[in-house]
Structure 1
Amino acid sequence: MQRSKGVNIKNLSKIYVSHSGNGNFKAVDNISIDIKAGEFVTLLGPSGCGKTTTLRMVAGFEIPTEGDIYLGGDRINDLTPDKRDTSMVFQSYALFPHLNIYDNIAYGLKLKKLSKSEIEEKAKTIIDLVGLKGMETRYPNQLSGGQQQRVALARALVMEPGVLLFDEPLSNLDAKLRVYMRTEIRKIQKKVGITAIYVTHDQSEAMSLSDRIIIMNKGIVEQVGTPKEIYYTPATQFVADFIGTANFINGTIKEINDGKAVIDATGTILTVKYSGSKSVGDECKIVLRPEAMEIGDAGLFKGTVTSSTFMGAFQDYAIKIGEDEIKCENFNPKIKKVYEEGAEVYINFSTDNIHVI
Structure 2
Amino acid sequence: MSELKNVVLKNIVKTYLGNDGKPFTAVNNINLEIKSGEFVTLLGPSGCGKTTTLRMIAGFEIPTSGDIYIGKENVSKLTPDKRDTAMVFQSYALFPHLNIFDNVAYGLKLKKLSKDVIDKKVRKILELVGLNGLEERAPNQLSGGQQQRVALARALVMEPSVLLFDEPLSNLDAKLRVYMRTEIRRIQKEVGITSVYVTHDQAEAMSMSDRIIIMNKGVIEQIGTPKEIYEKPATKFVADFIGEANILEAEIVDIADKRVNIKLADKIFSVKTDLNVGKEDKINIVIRPEAVNLVDNGDIEVNVKSSVFMGAYQDYVIELDNKEIKLVQYDPQHKKVYNTGEKAYIDLKANSIHVIRN
Pairwise TM-score range, normalised by the shorter structure: over 0.9
Which residue in 1 is equivalent to 2:301?
302
Which residue in 1 is equivalent to 2:17?
17
- Between stretches 301-310 and 219-228, larger displacement belongs to 301-310
Within 5 Å, give how 1:254-293 maps onto structure 2.
Answer: 254-293=253-292
Say whether 1:108 aligns with 2:104: no
Which residue in 2 is equivalent to 1:240?
239
Rounded to whole Å, the distance in 2 between the matches of 1:76 and 1:125 is 30
With over 3 angstroms needed to count, the CA separation of the structure-2 counterparts of 1:321 and 1:146, relative to structure 1, is same
- Between stretches 271-280 and 227-236, larger displacement belongs to 271-280
Rounded to whole Å, the distance in 1 between the matches of 2:203 and 2:99 is 33
Q: CA deviation at 1:281?
A: 2.1
**5+ long unaligned stretches in structure 1:** none
User: What TM-score comes out, normalization by structure 1 length?
Assistant: 0.98
Rounded to whole Å, the distance in 2 between the matches of 1:284 and 1:268 is 17
Q: CA deviation at 1:277?
A: 2.0
Rounded to whole Å, the distance in 2 between the matches of 1:273 and 1:47 is 34
Which residue in 2 is equivalent to 1:95?
94
Q: CA deviation at 1:350?
A: 1.4
Within 5 Å, give how 1:1-357 maps onto structure 2.
Answer: 1-21=1-21, 23-357=22-356
CA-to-partner distance for each residue in 1:38-58, whole Å, 9 max, x for gaps?
000000000000000000000
Structure 2 counterpart SS, 1:82: helix
- Between stretches 326-335 and 50-59, larger displacement belongs to 326-335
Structure 2 counterpart SS, 1:222: strand
- Between stretches 43-52 and 313-322, larger displacement belongs to 313-322
The one-letter code matched in structure 2 to 1:35 is I
The one-letter code matched in structure 1 to 2:267 is T
CA-to-partner distance for each residue in 1:151-208, whole Å, 9 max, x for gaps?
0000000000010000000000000000000000000000001000000000010000
User: What TM-score comes out, normalization by structure 2 length?
Assistant: 0.97
- Between stretches 319-328 and 100-109, larger displacement belongs to 319-328
Rounded to whole Å, the distance in 2 between the matches of 1:223 and 1:18 is 27
Q: What's the % identity of the aligned pairs? A: 64
Aligned pair count reads 356
Rounded to whole Å, the distance in 2 between the matches of 1:288 and 1:89 is 37
Rounded to whole Å, the distance in 2 between the matches of 1:176 and 1:229 is 27
RMSD between aligned residues: 1.0
- Between stretches 306-315 and 89-98, larger displacement belongs to 306-315
**5+ long unaligned stretches in structure 2:** none
- Between stretches 46-55 and 342-351, larger displacement belongs to 342-351
Whether the 8 Å CA contact 1:7–1:36 is kept in 2: the answer is yes
The one-letter code matched in structure 2 to 1:61 is F
Structure 1 counterpart SS, 2:285: strand
Whether the 8 Å CA contact 1:291–1:328 is kept in 2: the answer is yes
Q: Which runs of 4+ in 1 moved over 4 A?
A: none
Q: CA deviation at 1:268?
A: 2.4
Q: CA deviation at 1:323?
A: 2.9
The one-letter code matched in structure 2 to 1:18 is G
The one-letter code matched in structure 1 to 2:82 is K
Q: CA deviation at 1:266?
A: 4.1
Rounded to whole Å, the distance in 1 between the matches of 2:337 and 2:330 is 11
Rounded to whole Å, the distance in 2 between the matches of 1:97 and 1:223 is 41
With over 3 angstroms needed to count, the CA separation of the structure-2 counterparts of 1:130 and 1:251, relative to structure 1, is same
